[in-house]
């Protein structure tokens, strides 16, 4: 069995890394954008309150995320929960940005 691989190197050997934590207010959920100052190769978005995780990594289809439910069940989501633009702007869809919850985001470039 052959395995297709690709090598990705970081320019100048410098890795970009950003972690942020925040809470949403009681206003209705909306698509939310994040600008980390670099184009992430991996994004992990966690709803701490409900124990839900959405993960996206460069190389997987733009419409997919790896979703982990509170019970630990992992599925391949296909709702473009996390979208990364060519400029590096990350958009998290309203369905994941639930009101009155605590979140953290990890972005690695």
Q: What is the per-residue pLDDT across 11-26, written as a single tens digit (0 to 9) for each?
A: 556 579 999 999 988 8
SS (H, E, C) the chain: CCCCCCCCCCHHHCCCEEEEEEECCCCCCCCEEECCCCCCCEEEEEECCCCEEEEEECCCCCCCEEEECCCCCEEEECCCCEEECCCCCEEECCCCCCCCCEEEEEEEC
What residues does each domain of the chain span?
Answer: 15-108
Instruction: Enter the pTM of the model.
Output: 0.84
pLDDT digits over 47-99, tens only? 999 999 999 999 888 889 999 999 999 999 888 899 999 899 999 999 998 88
């Amino acid at each position: 069995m052959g395995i297709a691989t690709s090598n990705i190197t970081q320019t100048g050997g410098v890795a970009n890394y950003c972690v942020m934590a925040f809470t949403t207010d009681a206003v209705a959920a909306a698509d939310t954008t994040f600008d980390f100052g670099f184009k992430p190769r991996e994004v992990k978005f966690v709803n701490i309150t409900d124990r839900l995780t959405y993960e996206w990594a460069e190389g997987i289809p733009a419409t997919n995320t790896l979703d982990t439910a509170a019970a630990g069940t992992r599925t391949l989501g296909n709702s473009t929960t996390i979208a990364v633009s060519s400029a590096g702007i990350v958009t998290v869809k309203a369905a994941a940005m639930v009101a009155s919850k605590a979140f953290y985001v990890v972005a690695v470039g």
